[in-house]
Structure 1
């Protein structure tokens, strides 16, 4: 299979070559030196280990991940741990910058799919398969398919810290009851609900698309699959038997535009961020919200009990004549902790211990108890999680998962569709955006 070529790959390989030219006397960079071979003075020195992640917020999942890192640091005084929590909006670009310079952190969080593949294609990461083999009970408890988009050539390069359900359909049952609106299961019912809420001065669907990825990940990924079916998307993303200019995909973009034209979203949705969108919904200012499973931990951290009791969760409505499974949610495995290719010897051992401390069974239990969906067979503590999370987690486990667009598209194509959906909200044409997406994906794969 031809690997995707990206800008960071060439730069990172050049940087790696430059580092190699400086001299490496080891015949195998992944093999630790024999115990005591460095001498007593060297062995007394602390192992320096760095970890970067984007769990920087006040949501419960971020706190749970940071707590696991802190516990590891406290339990290992022999390790000098440099842990950096970087805000999500600038995190991916910062990783690309250090990758281009060949200066990756030892352990770092990366999303599954396209994101981790960029680092794999660049020769910047090494597998953690030996860690999984060391703990078979941990390895065997991941849900079916959880490791697929984090694996290459039969090797696992990260395990998911959370499950990714990107298109949960939240609704405020009090508002639906007050205005006698049927919870929509079809597109026609959804458009009718939009009209009724607009007529009564209620924003139908809360949307915060400032960072551009939200509309793509949470709405289009699921909506388009309803229209085209999953097989079509996989063919289009690989440019093998389908194109993004095909009528079915243009239809999906048109349905998104129809929502916008019907004033389904609040004014200025492109200038509101994800947090503002969720707050707008939980405060009862919008009747519906299409968001990812991360909203569960965010709302649990900020919403009152009364507010949370008004929220129900289901799947996006079906579309007329759609080829996709209507009982589905876009999602899959979330991101995980990847391991730098440069980690060797004692640093490699420490890095693997850190990954297990955060991603192992104890970490999975802490994350699910933070009201976060996980791709791991673990039961949430009912005395800790919210009833809404319990419902959503059960839903996640009972429906089909369909692809999230930016987990399969090239980085260039993902940027195009993200920006294109912002344009649609401002009156852009579906055909134009479809053509730009097709051109970007085809060009990226041909390089």
Structure 2
């Protein structure tokens, strides 16, 4: 068990004593210890946790699919717990510390799922893939690799993680005589021009510290260091986060901070607030993921959407990485509690398939959300911005999102380190902390 899980055990124990830790509710939760009717006539309760709590089209689609499953299984009680994204990771890690997992829950690709698999908290769904071969063959190459351990697959993505689009306000760019930046120098020049006009250059809501890393720094750093270097550094295999190229990446990020690229108090704003500020025309640019398109499609006007342009983060001076990349890859997927068995396991697999099958992938894509599935979407059902992004991604390669590949502690170190830099911290100190933390977590 990792240090992260051990550290959370005490917190969970206290929560359970005081208030039940906000779990699936009461003793009839349908979690690991309650395996359902099994012939007793007792109604089965199936618990599912996810982060589809908002009003964006993807969240609405996923909740609709869960509701449909409930209607199709009137003898089953589906206990669906939507938890806001910024709180979701902590909630799941907290219950994992005491091995009190929901029956199904949304996980994230990479180190997040690695922790559950290593702790034997989840079980494979390989048999579901084998049972539905046509569906399994529809995933894009590599889509399930990150969810496969020792030949067994534990999940499939219900999203494509494309985290670092550069969205820009075409009207503000035209009014100020600025073109979409393709180089670092052009980006800095654009920042200065918008600052002079009293316009926030790059909107950012980094209250949850993953945002700056996942949407901006990761792609900036990859442009500088190249992906091969990062893969070696995370494993302690001939590279380290104290190497000059990574320190240079942090200095570039600090340069953005020092030039006033971001709004004042960005560490106190959440990502939703930042998205709203941008779509309302109060900022020239925002670095964000494909999820923003789904959010805006649900809440913004057609006029606001038509003002949004989409491009990639610019090339970096003397960078060793590819310019035609976006951070991301397979997105989140559902996993099954390792303790499920019998009729309850069968029902959980049915719900898993309901939320992940070809029809679900198409419905998700047509809710203005990227998927790692070979699906044809009806252009009339999505916004022009999503259709443009959908086709742009087809031309790109993926580079790593840092906190999906680092250890849990390493991910926290880089995320918190970027917040420190935004508050005046020094790149060298952040690099040293990240290296020390990752070494301790990996033993290398």
TM over 0.5: yes
Aligned position for 1:217: 214
Tell me the matched-pair count: 420
Are 2:155 and 2:333, in contact at CA under 8 Å, matched by a contact in 1? yes
Aligned position for 2:358: 361
Aligned position for 1:173: 170
1:144 and 2:141 matched: yes
What CA distance in whole angstroms lies between the structure 2 residues aligned with 1:6 and 1:383? 49
Per-residue CA deviation, residues 179-227 of structure 1 (Å, 9 max, x unaligned), is 1112110001000110111111111111000001000101111000000
Are 1:127 and 1:155, in contact at CA under 8 Å, matched by a contact in 2? yes
The one of 66, 80, 87 equivalent to 1:69 is: 66
What CA distance in whole angstroms lies between the structure 1 residues aligned with 2:267 and 2:81? 29
Per-residue CA deviation, residues 256-294 of structure 1 (Å, 9 max, x unaligned), is 110111101111111110101001110111111100111
What CA distance in whole angstroms lies between the structure 2 residues aligned with 1:357 and 1:82? 16
Change (3 A) 1:11 1:311: closer
Aligned position for 1:26: none
RMSD (Å) for aligned C-alpha atoms = 1.8
Are 1:169 and 1:290, in contact at CA under 8 Å, matched by a contact in 2? yes
Q: CA deviation at 1:7?
A: 3.7
Per-residue CA deviation, residues 39-84 of structure 1 (Å, 9 max, x unaligned), is 5xx2x43322111111111111111111100000100112221111
Q: CA deviation at 1:8?
A: 1.9
Q: CA deviation at 1:11?
A: 8.4
Q: SS at the partner of 2:60?
A: helix
What CA distance in whole angstroms lies between the structure 1 residues aligned with 2:90 and 2:336? 18
1:12-51 to 2 correspondences below 5 Å: 42=40, 44-51=41-48
Are 2:4 and 2:409, in contact at CA under 8 Å, matched by a contact in 1? no
What CA distance in whole angstroms lies between the structure 2 residues aligned with 1:391 and 1:233? 30
Aligned position for 1:384: 381
What CA distance in whole angstroms lies between the structure 2 residues aligned with 1:319 and 1:71? 48
Are 1:151 and 1:157, in contact at CA under 8 Å, matched by a contact in 2? yes
What CA distance in whole angstroms lies between the structure 1 residues aligned with 2:353 and 2:127? 11
The one of 291, 300, 309 equivalent to 1:303 is: 300
Task: Report the TM-score, using the length of structure 1 for normalisation.
Answer: 0.91
The one of 423, 428, 439 equivalent to 1:442 is: 439
Aligned position for 2:79: 82
What CA distance in whole angstroms lies between the structure 2 residues aligned with 1:367 and 1:289? 24
Are 2:199 and 2:284, in contact at CA under 8 Å, matched by a contact in 1? yes
Q: SS at the partner of 1:398?
A: coil
1:185 and 2:185 matched: no
The one of 384, 394, 397 equivalent to 1:400 is: 397
Aligned position for 1:115: 112
Q: SS at the partner of 1:383?
A: helix
Q: CA deviation at 1:9?
A: 6.7
Aligned position for 1:28: none
Per-residue CA deviation, residues 245-264 of structure 1 (Å, 9 max, x unaligned), is 00000000111110111101
Task: Report the TM-score, using the length of structure 2 for normalisation.
Answer: 0.92
1:157 and 2:149 matched: no
Per-residue CA deviation, residues 92-131 of structure 1 (Å, 9 max, x unaligned), is 1111221121211110001110101110010100000100
What are the ranges of 5 or more consecutive residues in structure 2 without an aligned counterpart? 13-34
What CA distance in whole angstroms lies between the structure 1 residues aligned with 2:180 and 2:442? 42
What CA distance in whole angstroms lies between the structure 1 residues aligned with 2:293 and 2:98? 37
Q: CA deviation at 1:174?
A: 1.0
1:93 and 2:82 matched: no
What are the ranges of 5 or more consecutive residues in structure 1 without an aligned counterpart? 16-32
What CA distance in whole angstroms lies between the structure 2 residues aligned with 1:10 and 1:131? 34
1:131 and 2:138 matched: no
Are 1:8 and 1:122, in contact at CA under 8 Å, matched by a contact in 2? no
1:250 and 2:247 matched: yes
